[in-house]
Structure 1
Amino acid sequence: MHSIDLPSKPPTSPHPILNLSFRIFFSAAALFAVVTMVLWAFVFTGHTAINAQVLNPLYWHGHEMIYGYALAVVAGFLLTAVKTWTGVMMPYGYKLLGIFSCWLLARLSWLAFGLGMTIAGSSVSWLYVGAVFDLLFIGLMAFSVCRAVLQVKQYKQLGILAKLVLLTVGNGLCYWGIVKADMSMTKIGIYLGFYLIIGLVLTIGRRVVPFFIERGLSGINTEGEKQTVTLRNSKAQDIASLLFFLAFFIVDLFYPNKYLLTLTALGVAVVNTVRLVGWYHHGIWQKPLLWSLYVAFLGMCLSFLLYALQPWLGYNHNIAMHGLAITGIGMITVAMMTRVSLGHTGRNIHQPPKMVKYMYGLMVLVFISRVLLPLADMSHYLLWIMVAQSAWIACFVLFCISYLPMLARPRPDGLFG
């Protein structure tokens, strides 16, 4: 007799927001982006009781933007994308809630420290609590990705897994520096995390940006004709981008030399500008979900150029760093979240909410105000920062208004996802 395989029970979760990781992590990242920037505005102007002897307030801000906001978006994207890449079901329901809870508890601990709250008279205790849940969060995320990749033997994805392992190391260095009262160690951990995220964006972006543009433009054009858009990609460009960025990363973090910094940063900028030329299609300007990705990568190229010129023109290093952070983390994540959220909730990617163009415009304003205007006029530096902070907050408020309802509701087609 032949055995009959009964269909497996379809997955269920206690709430739609726990169906797949992008739902809860994108929602939380957007809310956190608002809360942490509002608090940073108070910390920056000296209106909180943050303990600067335990942790430089600049490092508090840097840590939470990298290991708080950016890693939440990475978790939402990776734990969803790996399911598509491997066909292996990723954590959902209560398992996903467990991973998310570790991220949330770590963020609440850092917010408490930023507000100057204490445990038994000590504010640093909050960071010890944060360390436990932060490292647990990254470890669980890396384990979930590793299990799926190894199960189907997709060893080409191990590069992404290696970056997650190194992010765990970077975050560990941050906490080790806090424990040992060694701010230089904490700084290394923050910059290590920052450049690893940028490396992840360059790696994943090379796959998804041309894919999204091709998908977004192929089909019936405005003249009613069928068109197929195919963009240029090059293995040689991928290798050159990786090698130049790795060299830049090492030079800027561990071996500061203005000649090497200029050479490596210029190499990254040139290779990725050439890559953007191959990705260009005039049709992107009709679709905000596409031009936002393109502009984000263009901003990254400009930021690497600022790194290359900084030793010779004498402006502050953090201007180039913030340019890369705003475009390579802020702008690219907003562009990705707005596109991925539509596709994975079963909505039409060709009809995004009308507010998306304003979100992208506000993120461009963040770049102009935080990076370009200080280059032109340092006498109003505080004003430019306040404008950038306000534009950042407004961008994510619009995201929350437009996207949180769809992220919290079931798919219109009734499918699980």
Structure 2
Amino acid sequence: MHTINLPSKPPSSPHPILNLSFRIFFSGAALFAVIIMALWALVFTGHTDIDAQVLNPLYWHGHEMVYGYALAVVAGFLLTAVKAWTGVMMPYGYRLLGIFMCWLLARLSWLAFGLGVTVTGSSVVWLYAAAAFDLLFVGLMALAVFRAVLQVKQYKQMGILAKLALLTLGNGLCYWGIISADMSMTKLGIYLGFYLIIGLVLTIGRRVVPFFIERGLSVADADGVKQTVTLRNSKSQDIASLLFFLAFFIVDLFYPNKYLLTVTALGVAVVNIIRLVGWYHRGIWQKPLLWSLYIAFLGMCLSFLLYALQPWLGYTHSIAMHGLAIAGIGMMTVAMMTRVSLGHTGRNIHQPPRSVTVMYVLMVLVFISRVLLPLVDMSHYLLWIMVAQGAWIACFVLFCLSYLPMLARPRPDGLFG
């Protein structure tokens, strides 16, 4: 007698935006990027009642760009990618909403602190609330990843959990520094998180940038003949990039020495410039989804060169750091979100919205205005920062207008995802 296995019930959620994590987290990150930069413009110009005695406004800004915006994009990408890597369904529906709400409540708490909202005469209570929700957010995300990895015994993915643990440590140091009134501890936590995110971008970028370029250019020509594009990659380059970046990370954070900083930063830059030479194909300039990734990686290389030259040319460390943040987090995440959102909602990656080119140009303008122009003209420093803030906001407003409708709608092919 044969046993008949009935098909399992297909997954469903109360709204398409809760189907997979990239939908809600990319949407939340984009909206947050607009709000947090607009509020930072007010904080920067002294138009809010933020309590600078509790937290330096610069660290308020840095924390929310790293642990607010960047970590939301990481959550959207990671919880979607782990499903593809393991074949295990990741949280969706109300479970996904619960994880997202922890992130959102933490962000609202930081916004309340930035606006100077007080409870019983103090605004610090918002940071205690943010700490609880931030730790719960990362904990639930890590638990979802751990269960999937354990279920299929794909232990090589445990490295993801290690990175999440280190990001939690960095965030914990931020909050501990605030609670103990130790600004240096808070700064350490922010920089630890920042460099961990950059490390993730270098690692993931090494895989996805050449992959996306190959996929984007390996298409049929006018005669119907498929043109295959194969890009060069090297294991030795991967190892060299990892070792140089690890050394740079340790030197810049724990052992500031201008000779070591120059050598390590230059090492990261040179290795990755060689990578870019191997990834170059003239066809990328015909496809915004490809040249945006290439330009983002090039911007990171230029930023490492700025780190290497900074001790000798005398400009501020902040310029190099912002270059790395804008290229490695800003430009790279926008490029990734615009591409991933198309593919995972069942849309044609070769026909992105026309607005993507404008988004990428605006992010390049952010880099030029915040990083390059102050190098040649510090007399208009405030103006350059305001232009960069405006371009950042405009970029993400365009993303919201172009991509939020597709992230909130079902796939055209009717599949769940």
TM-score, structure 2 as length reference: 0.99
Please, which moves more after superposition, 216-225 or 133-142? 216-225
1:253-312: CA deviations, max 9, x gaps?
Answer: 010000100010001001111111111111100000000000000000000000000000
Task: Letter of the 2:144 partner, please give it.
Answer: S
Provide the residue aligned with 2:344 in structure 1.
Answer: 344
TM-aligned CA deviation for residue 223 of structure 1 = 5.9
Which has the higher mean CA deviation after the structures are superposed, 140-149 or 330-339? 140-149
1:65 equivalenced with 2:65 (yes/no): yes
Shift of 1:156: 2.6
Aligned residue number for residue 173 of structure 1: 173
Shift of 1:222: 4.9
Q: CA deviation at 1:191?
A: 0.2
1:219 alignment partner, SS class: coil
Distance, in Å, in 2 between the alignment partners of 1:3 and 1:225 is 47
**CA separation in 2, counterparts of 1:378 and 1:146?**
48
Partner in structure 2 of residue 331 of structure 1: 331
Aligned residue identity for 2:216? G
Q: What does residue range 46-125 of structure 1 map to in structure 2 within 5 Å?
A: 46-125=46-125
Q: What is the CA–CA distance in structure 2 between the aligned matches of 1:221 and 1:286, rounded to whole Å?
A: 14
Q: Which amino acid aligns with 2:25?
A: F
Deviation at 1:55, TM superposition (A): 0.1
Q: After TM superposition, give the deviation of residue 155 of structure 1 in Å.
A: 2.6
State the match for 1:240 in structure 2.
240
Distance across 2 between alignment mates of 1:372 and 1:209: 25
1:258 and 1:311 in contact (8 A); partners too? yes
Q: 1:214 corresponds to which residue?
A: 214
Give yes or no for contact 1:34–1:397 (8 Å, CA) kept in 2.
Answer: yes
In the alignment, the residues of structure 1 paired with residue 159 and residue 273 of structure 2 have an alpha-carbon distance, to the nearest angstrom, of 23
The one-character-per-residue Cα deviations of 1:58-87 (angstroms, maximum 9, x if unpaired) are 000000000000000000000001111111
**Percent identity (aligned):** 87
Inter-partner Cα distance in structure 2 for 1:184 and 1:79: 32
Report what 1:38 is aligned to.
Answer: 38
SS of match in other structure, 2:48: coil
User: Which residue is equivalent to 2:134?
Assistant: 134
Deviation, 1:206, is 1.1
Give the CA deviation at 1:96.
0.2
* Superposed CA offset, 1:324-351 (max 9, x none): 0000000000000000000000000000
Q: What does 1:271-290 align with in structure 2 at a 5 Å threshold? A: 271-290=271-290
What's 1:378 paired with? 378
- Between stretches 331-340 and 134-143, larger displacement belongs to 134-143
8 Å contact kept, 1:160–1:200 = no
Q: Distance in 2 between matches of 1:246 and 1:376?
A: 31
- Tell me what 1:413 maps to: 413
Distance 1:130 1:162 in 2: 23
**Aligned partners of 2:370, 2:193: CA distance in 1, in Å?**
21
Asked if the contact 1:248/1:264 (under 8 Å) is kept, the reply is yes
Give the structure 2 partner of residue 389 of structure 1. 389
Does structure 2 conserve the Cα–Cα contact (< 8 Å) formed by 1:21 and 1:77? yes
Letter in 2 for 1:366: V
Aligned to 1:302: 302
- State the one-letter code of the partner of 2:214: E
Identify the residue that residue 318 of structure 1 maps to in structure 2. Answer: 318
Give the alignment's Cα RMSD to 1 decimal.
0.8
Q: Which runs of 5+ in 1 are unaligned?
A: none
The one-letter code of the counterpart of 1:180 is S
Partner of 1:199: 199
For structure 2, the 5+ residue unaligned runs are none
Question: Would you say the 8 A contact 1:149–1:155 is kept in 2?
Answer: yes
Moved more, 232-241 or 192-201: 232-241
Write the distance in 1 (CA, Å) between the matches of 2:192 and 2:41. 24
- Alignment partners' CA distance in 2, 1:209 and 1:360: 16
Distance apart, 1:153 and its partner CA: 2.4
- Counterpart code for 1:10: P
Deviation, structure 1 residue 150: 2.5
SS in 2 for 1:220: coil
SS of match in other structure, 2:298: helix
Letter of the 2:358 partner, please give it. Answer: Y
